[in-house]
């Protein structure tokens, strides 16, 4: 029955997504990015893929994704051949748009299948409830109707549904105990989009600890004698063969350095043009506040301050004026430090696939908090897997609500035209209202404390200020970046708070486990 | 989950669908010199804002009636005036006399779409909420609510093509709801307002009249019934007078407005409409054979004949159930037989059919789908193909799944039991009518609609028959409407005594 119900609500979302996509005249930069990649993979030989730079949007995803675009391009040529010409920069035609939009919808089938598999592995409570109250139903709705995924994929334009489908499928396979399949899927995913490297530590440690070691000591610590070399070899061969398939041709052509330089462009700045709501947004804000304060108190000379426009819209390096500047290596160290305790905890006290899932969420969120040049869209990497935990425990549900609401709100600047304002507000309300009421009913009681509620209600005030009041004020022309700044700083508070609470819950579980064993 | 949150989720979903449709093109976008209904509404704002009231309906140097002259009753004009004041605040260019003609811009489109959304949110949606939660019986109130909100015809015409049907239909629905709750005076007030917004609401007027009159009869014309009748009559007259106040000073004004509202000279039908005359025109060229007067008389007689049975039945038995059926029968009969019908007028029967979604799911869904389909040529002209396909699919999916429509087609569920018993004694061989509404036929008809839609889009018509596909679409929908008119009439006339129906319900 579960499968049936999932299948039933899946078309709902699909129709909704189709409805969204009627915005046929609208196309974002990502739209052009993917069109360009279609053209590159279709019209150039493999050896030129990572050298081509006619468009500023060069191919910067791993090879498997390029092959994915290559296969799409064979369908695309039946819609409009012109979109497959590299020189046709910013090319759009109704057929092109239709094809691109349809390709997102069709590849979403992977996501729907993955959601179905996740729902199958959710723990069910006994007792007959109506369909709407079942955890699996709520999970299916939370995943399929996810606001972030809807707007990023179907309005903005990316193939996240397809990619997250593979991620969730891999998680579901781990929950079902089919670890080799899970590992295979994740390796494929890594070769489709390398941003998932952020959660690779969770995968690596979990597979090593819980799959390669077959037994634990009675206190839960690792029993070294139970190490199974066969399993390690199996895992290794999966990783290596997928990697060889993907990168092999480029290594053979001696292009590996070129490919890697495209994949990891450290020349970009610490923050994206619009700051993702993470620690660095707060850091920048403090720096800015200090410099303004310093100028006011005449402690600083305006002329000596670096002239960095924080919002130019172009991706550029942002120079801090008071606080020390942050280099990529520092962000890397911070990220590693932030995920270390979580990874150590699943090494010392593995708590099965659910412990792994929690660690995965911490890794995703940790790298979002401290990473170099993070996009606001990366928050989805934490939100989507976290949905599975949220329908199973009360505490997680509370954190989930905080994280999703602030995280989703921080995606608002992605859609900035006036015509999209109602759509994004309505969809956001739809999702938020549903997640609050359904989780509240599932766990029979309020999930947030008054302070958290106030903070979330503050988002409404921020929205009204930023999108209604501020554009009418005279500052709109002199300082147009203030709404973005306020949004990202306000949201980063919520995301930081959720991160801390998630950590506390993880470590507390760790503590109680230890306590039990003593 | 609590009721309020489900309701708000449904409303939000409906609004999202509406706004998504509104991002699409509108009628006459970028098509000078006449543009389309969008320009008509904008032009009315311009006219009402800049000209004194007594020039609104007259052809003057500043008001060229041949260019989208005002041809709706005063409430529409007042609404245009209100919108024009808001428009003036935002951007005076939008309503500048003469200079703004044919104005099209991103901001203006957004403004116009927003006015539709606001009207919908204030009038239509609350009425649907009240109806679904107070007047529909059974456990699936929320499901009915969602299905009514998602009816594609209304969404596509209001938010795609561009009209304010949600106001006139919403006010009529308010009338039904308030009458259903027992406040007869308020109900008639709401209906008169709706009539003064769009004269097409006359399609609904006879059932309102018969229902209220029947109620007065029931209470005894000597005592309380008479008092009620007087109260209602006074309300109706006063409301009318208030709506027409600026025009009352001069009889010439009134005549001119009435003349504008009922343009008899425009002929029996225009374009391709899924009604009797247009379909009959395929076989006999009525439009050329008969004079306008004869056409007028013929259509008047047939319409009257078609609405007579349901009106009489309603007069005898003024219950809410009968009232809803009579609304369907009367407005559908008007649509099929009356003079100068537009394809968009199918929305008028569609509104009461929406109210039957709970009681007669399959026929209602069938009708609603056919009504959306019948407007396909219009949607294609306006460039609304994608929204048409998506909203129709969504509606079919939601309504069939949520109302489990396909499981409810036994004779009892279709309310045809009494009819069958009646007929068995009289003409046995006509009994097959009740077998017409079943799952297989439904699937067949939906497939045919899909096929015809596909052909209209993908295939070029043969050179000698350029209108082949629009004609096929309208004749095909006409057959549906005719069949369903018969069916709804049978259900209404053959309704068993109240007690039997209640027992049936309990056993269900």
* Chain B positions in Cβ-Cβ contact with residue A418 (cut-off 8 Å): 107, 110
**Residue in chain B nearest A418 by alpha carbon:** B110
Confidence bin at B499 (pLDDT 50/70/90):
very low
Please tell me the distance from the alpha carbon of residue B36 to that of residue B25, in angstroms, as a whole number: 11
CA of A284 vs chain B CAs: smallest distance (Å): 36
CB B63 within 8 A of CB B425: no
Q: B12 and chain A: CB distance < 8 Å anywhere? A: yes
Structure tokens given for A27? 């196309």
Burial classification of residue B179, based on how many CB atoms lie within 10 Å of its CB (0-12 exposed, 13-18 middle, 19 or more buried): buried
Does the pLDDT value for residue A136 go beyond 60? Answer: yes
Q: CA-to-CA distance for A178 and A171, rounded, in angstroms?
A: 10
Name every chain B residue with its beta carbon within 8 A of the beta carbon of A472: none
Q: Which residues contact A501 (CB under 8 A, 6 or more apart)?
A: A398, A399, A402
Do A20 and B394 lie within an 8 Å CB cutoff?
Answer: no
What confidence score (pLDDT) does residue B508 get?
37
Q: CA B446, B449, B454, B459 torsion: positive or negative?
A: positive
Count helices and strands in chain B by DSSP H and E runs: 25, 0
Does residue B341 sit in helix, strand or coil?
strand
3-class secondary structure, A222: strand
What ipTM did this prediction achieve? 0.86
Bridge partners (DSSP) listed for residue A374: A271
Average pLDDT over residues A400-406: 95
Can you tell me which residue has the tokens 């037994």? Answer: A215
Q: Do A422 and B391 touch (CB under 8 A)?
A: no
| Residues of chain B above pLDDT 70, percent | 90
Q: Which residue from B9, B16, B110 is facing A434, i.e. has the nearest CB?
A: B9
Q: How close is the nearest chain B Cα to the Cα of A426, in Å?
A: 6
CB contact under 8 A, B386 and A11: no
Least Cα separation, residue B448 to chain A (angstroms): 21
- Closest Cα in chain B, distance from residue A129 (Å): 11
Two tokens, residue B86: 């808001």
Mean pLDDT of the A362-374 span: 90
The predicted pLDDT at position B33 comes to 83
Higher pLDDT, A350 or B408: A350
Q: Over range B435-443, report the average pLDDT.
A: 78
Which residues of A fall within a CB distance of 8 Å from B19?
Answer: 422-423, 426
Candidates A6, A13, A19, A145, partner chain B, best to mutate (most B CBs within 10 A): A19
**Higher-scoring residue by pLDDT: A119, B92:** B92
Of A285-294, B305-314, B399-408, minimum mean pLDDT range: B399-408
Question: Are the Cβ atoms of A430 and B13 closer than 8 angstroms?
Answer: yes
pTM, 2 dp: 0.89
Q: What are phi and psi of B45, to 5 degrees?
A: -60, -45
Q: Within B163-291, where are the H helices?
A: 165-180, 184-197, 202-218, 224-243, 251-261, 276-280, 286-289
Kindly tell me if the per-residue pLDDT of B9 is higher than 80.
yes
Q: Which residues pair with A271 in a beta bridge?
A: A374
Measured between alpha carbons, how far is A448 from A404 in angstroms, rounded to an integer?
13
Bridge partner residues of B269 (DSSP): B341
B394 touches chain A (CB under 8 A): yes
Our CA angle for B483, B489, B219, nearest 5°, is: 165
Residue A1 pLDDT level (bands cut at 50, 70, 90): very low
The answer on pLDDT for B497 being more than 60 is no
The structure tokens listed for A284 are 């920048």
User: Which of B228, B205, B232 shows the shortest CA–CA distance to B217?
Assistant: B228
Question: Where are the extended beta strands (E) located within A199-277?
Answer: none
- The first and second tokens of residue B441, run together, are 């036929």
Residue B507 confidence (pLDDT): 39
Q: Is A374 helix (H, G, I), strand (E, B) or coil?
A: strand
**Residue found under tokens 């429509």:** B405
Percentage of chain A exceeding pLDDT 90: 33
On chain A, the residues whose CB falls within 8 A of the CB of B394 are: 12, 15-16, 19
The DSSP secondary-structure symbol of A467 reads I
Direct distance between the N- and C-terminal alpha carbons of chain B, in angstroms, rounded to an integer: 25
Chain A residues within 8 A (CB-CB) of chain B?
A: 8, 11-12, 15-16, 18-24, 26, 132-133, 418-419, 422-423, 426-427, 429-430, 433-434, 436-438, 441
Q: Do B21 and A19 touch (CB under 8 A)?
A: yes
Tokens representing B410?
């036994």
What SS3 class is residue A327?
coil
Give how far A460 is from chain B: nearest CA, Å: 17
Which residue's entry shows tokens 């391009």?
Answer: A73
Contacts of B386 in chain A (CB under 8 A): 18, 21-22, 24
What confidence tens digit (pLDDT) does each residue in A2-45 have?
Answer: 444 555 555 555 555 555 555 555 567 888 889 889 999 998 88
pLDDT of residue B419: 60
| pLDDT single digits (tens) B65-111 | 888 889 899 999 999 999 999 999 999 999 998 898 889 998 999 99
Radius of gyration of chain B (CA): 23
pLDDT of the residue at A310: 46
Q: CB of B13 within 8 Å of any CB in chain A?
A: yes
Other CB atoms within 10 A of residue A197 CB: 13
State residue A101's pLDDT score: 80
Chain B residue numbers with beta carbons less than 8 Å from the beta carbon of A428 are: none
Q: How far B389 CA sits from the closest chain A CA (Å)? A: 9
Instruction: Give the distance from residue A90's alpha carbon to the nearest chain B alpha carbon, in angstroms.
Output: 21
DSSP 8-class letter at A145: T
A165/B105 Cα distance (integer angstroms):
40
Report the b/e string of A150-173 with b at 16+ CB within 10 A: bbbbbbbbbbbbbbbbbbbbbbbb
Alpha carbon distance A213, A227 (integer Å)? 4
**Closest alpha carbon to B51 in B42, B60, B40:** B60
Q: Would you call A441 and B394 a contact, using CB atoms and an 8 Å cutoff?
A: no
How far CA B188 is from CA of A344, B204, B211, B212, in Å, comes to: 74, 12, 11, 9
Find the CB nearest A433 among B8, B21, B387.
Answer: B8
Please give the pLDDT value at position B2.
Answer: 64
């Amino acid at each position: 029955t579960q499968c049936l119900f999932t299948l039933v609500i899946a078309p709902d979302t699909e129709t909704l997504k189709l409805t969204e996509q009627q915005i046929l005249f609208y196309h974002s930069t990502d739209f052009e990015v993917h069109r360009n990649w279609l053209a590159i993979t279709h019209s150039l030989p493999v050896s030129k893929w990572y050298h081509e730079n006619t468009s500023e949007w060069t191919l910067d995803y791993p090879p498997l994704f390029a092959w994915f675009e290559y296969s799409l391009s064979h369908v695309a040529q039946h819609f409009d051949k012109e979109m497959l010409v590299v020189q046709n920069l910013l090319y759009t035609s109704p057929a092109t748009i239709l094809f691109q939009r349809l390709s997102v919808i069709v590849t979403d089938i992977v996501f729907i299948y993955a959601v179905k598999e996740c729902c199958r592995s959710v723990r069910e409570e006994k007792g007959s409830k109506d369909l709407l109250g079942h955890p699996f139903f709520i999970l299916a709705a939370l995943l399929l109707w996810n606001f972030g995924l809807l707007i990023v994929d179907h309005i903005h334009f990316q193939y996240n549904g397809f990619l997250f489908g593979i991620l969730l499928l891999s998680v579901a396979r781990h929950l079902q105990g089919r670890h080799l399949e899970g590992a295979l899927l994740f390796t494929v995913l890594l070769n489709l989009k390398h941003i998932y490297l952020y959660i690779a530590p969770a995968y690596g440690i979990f597979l090593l600890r819980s799959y390669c070691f077959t037994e634990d000591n009675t206190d839960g610590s690792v029993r070294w004698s139970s190490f199974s070399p066969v399993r390690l070899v199996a895992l290794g061969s999966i990783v290596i063969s997928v990697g060889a398939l993907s990168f092999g041709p480029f290594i053979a052509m001696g292009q590996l350095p070129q490919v890697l330089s495209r994949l990891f462009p450290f020349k970009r700045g610490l923050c994206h043009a619009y700051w993702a709501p993470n620690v660095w947004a707060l850091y920048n804000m403090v720096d800015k506040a200090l410099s303004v304060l310093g100028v006011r108190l005449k402690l600083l000379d305006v002329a000596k301050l670096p002239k960095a426009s924080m919002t130019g819209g172009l991706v550029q390096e942002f120079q801090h004026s008071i606080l020390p500047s942050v280099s990529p290596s520092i962000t890397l160290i911070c990220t590693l430090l932030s995920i270390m305790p979580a990874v150590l905890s699943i090494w010392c006290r593995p708590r099965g696939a659910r412990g792994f899932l929690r660690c995965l969420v911490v890794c995703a969120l940790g790298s979002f908090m401290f990473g170099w040049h993070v996009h606001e869209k990366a928050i989805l990497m934490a939100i989507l897997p976290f949905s599975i935990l949220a329908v199973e425990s009360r505490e997680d549900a509370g954190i989930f609500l905080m994280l999703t609401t602030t995280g989703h709100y921080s995606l608002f600047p992605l859609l900035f035209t006036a015509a999209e304002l109602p759509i994004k507000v309505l969809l956001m309300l739809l999702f938020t209202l549903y997640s609050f009421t359904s989780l509240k009913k599932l766990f029979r009681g309020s999930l947030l404390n008054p302070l958290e509620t106030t903070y979330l209600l503050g988002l409404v005030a921020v929205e009204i200020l930023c999108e209604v009041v501020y554009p009418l004020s005279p500052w709109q022309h002199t300082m147009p970046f203030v709404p973005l700044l306020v949004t990202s700083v306000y949201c980063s508070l919520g995301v930081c708070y959720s991160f801390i609470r998630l950590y506390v819950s993880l470590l507390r579980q760790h503590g109680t486990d230890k306590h039990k064993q003593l | 989950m609590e009721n309020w949150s489900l309701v708000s989720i449904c409303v939000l979903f409906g609004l999202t669908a509406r706004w998504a449709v509104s991002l699409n093109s509108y009628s006459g976008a970028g098509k000078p010199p006449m543009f389309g209904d969008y320009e008509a509404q904008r032009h009315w704002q311009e006219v009402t804002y800049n000209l004194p009231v007594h020039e609104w309906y007259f052809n003057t140097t500043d008001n060229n009636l041949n260019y989208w002259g005002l041809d709706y009753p005063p409430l529409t004009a007042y609404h245009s005036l209100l919108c024009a004041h808001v428009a003036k605040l935002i951007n005076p260019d939008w309503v500048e006399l003469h200079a703004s003609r044919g104005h099209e811009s991103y901001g203006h489109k957004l403004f116009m779409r927003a006015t539709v959304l606001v009207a919908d949110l204030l009038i239509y949606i609350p009425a649907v909420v009240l109806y679904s939660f107070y007047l529909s019986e059974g456990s699936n109130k929320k499901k009915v609510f969602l299905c009514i909100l998602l009816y594609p015809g209304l969404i596509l015409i209001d938010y795609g093509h561009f009209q304010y049907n949600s106001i006139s239909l919403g006010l009529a629905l308010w009338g039904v709801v308030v009458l259903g709750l027992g406040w007869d005076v308020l109900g008639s007030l709401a209906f008169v307002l709706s009539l003064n917004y769009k004269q097409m609401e006359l399609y609904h007027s006879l059932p309102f009249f018969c229902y209220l009159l029947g109620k007065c009869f029931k209470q005894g014309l000597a005592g309380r019934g008479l008092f009620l009748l007087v109260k209602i009559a006074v309300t109706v007259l006063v409301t009318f007078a208030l709506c027409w106040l600026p025009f009352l000073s001069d009889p010439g004004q009134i005549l001119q407005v009435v003349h504008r509202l009922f343009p008899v000279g425009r002929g029996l039908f225009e374009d391709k409409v899924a009604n009797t005359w247009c379909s009959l025109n395929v076989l006999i060229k009525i439009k050329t054979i008969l004079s306008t007067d004869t056409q007028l008389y013929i259509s008047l007689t047939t319409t009257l004949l078609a609405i007579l049975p349901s009106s009489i039945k309603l007069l005898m038995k003024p219950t809410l159930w009968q009232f809803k059926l009579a609304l369907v029968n009367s407005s559908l009969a008007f649509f099929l037989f009356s003079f100068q019908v537009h394809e968009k007028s199918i929305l008028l029967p569609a509104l009461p059919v929406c109210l039957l979604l709970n009681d007669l799911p399959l026929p209602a869904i069938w009708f609603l789908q056919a009504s959306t389909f019948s407007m396909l040529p219009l949607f294609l002209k306006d460039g609304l193909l994608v929204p048409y396909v998506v909203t129709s699919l969504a509606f079919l999916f939601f309504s069939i799944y949520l109302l489990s429509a396909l499981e409810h087609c036994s004779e009892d569920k279709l309310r045809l039991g009494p009819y069958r018993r009646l007929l068995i004694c009289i003409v046995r061989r006509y009994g097959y009518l009740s077998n017409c509404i079943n799952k297989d036929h439904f699937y067949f008809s939906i497939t045919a609609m899909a096929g015809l839609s596909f052909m209209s889009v993908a295939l070029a018509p043969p050179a000698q028959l350029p209108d082949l596909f629009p004609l096929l679409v309208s004749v095909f929908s006409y057959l549906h409407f005719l069949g369903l008119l018969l069916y709804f009439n049978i259900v209404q006339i053959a309704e068993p005594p109240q007690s039997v129906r209640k027992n049936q319900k309990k056993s269900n």
